[in-house]
Amino acid sequence: MLLPVCLYAQERFHITGRIVNEKGEAVEYVQIGIPKLGIGTISSSDGHFEINVPADTLEFHHVSYQTGYYQVSGPKEEVVIVLKESELPPVVITNGEKKEKYLLRTGTRIPGAAGVFSRPDGVIKGIELGSVAKAKKPFLVKDIQFSIMENAIPGCVAAINIYRIEGEPEQFINILRKPIYVNIALSKERQDFDIQPEEFILLDPGRYFISFAVVDCDMDAVRRYQATPESERDPRAMRFYMNLYLKSSYERSIALGELKHYPVNIGISVKGLEYQ
- The proportion of the chain whose per-residue pLDDT surpasses 70, expressed as a percent, equals 94
Res 136: pLDDT: 96
Is 2.60.40.10 the CATH classification of the domain at 2-83? yes
Res 76: pLDDT: 96
First and final CA of the chain: distance in angstroms?
A: 52
Burial 90-104 (b: 16+ CB within 10 A, else e): eeeeeeeebeeeebb
**Alpha carbon distance 44, 70 (integer Å):** 18
Please indicate whether residue 88 or residue 245 has the higher confidence score (pLDDT).
245
Res 188: pLDDT: 95
**Alpha carbon distance 43, 28 (integer Å):** 7
| Mean pLDDT of the region 171-183 | 93
Look up the pTM and report it: 0.89
Q: What is the DSSP string of 54-108?
A: -SSEEEEEETTEEEEEEE-SS-EEEEEEEEPBP-PPPPPPPPS-EEEEEEE---E
Res 5: pLDDT: 43
Res 89: pLDDT: 65
Evaluate if residue 202 carries a pLDDT over 60: yes
| Mean pLDDT of the region 144-156 | 96
Domain parsing of the chain, residue ranges: 2-83, 98-275
CATH number of the domain at 98-275, please? 2.60.120
H/E stretch holding 253 reads none
Phi, psi of 35 (to 5 degrees): -55, -40
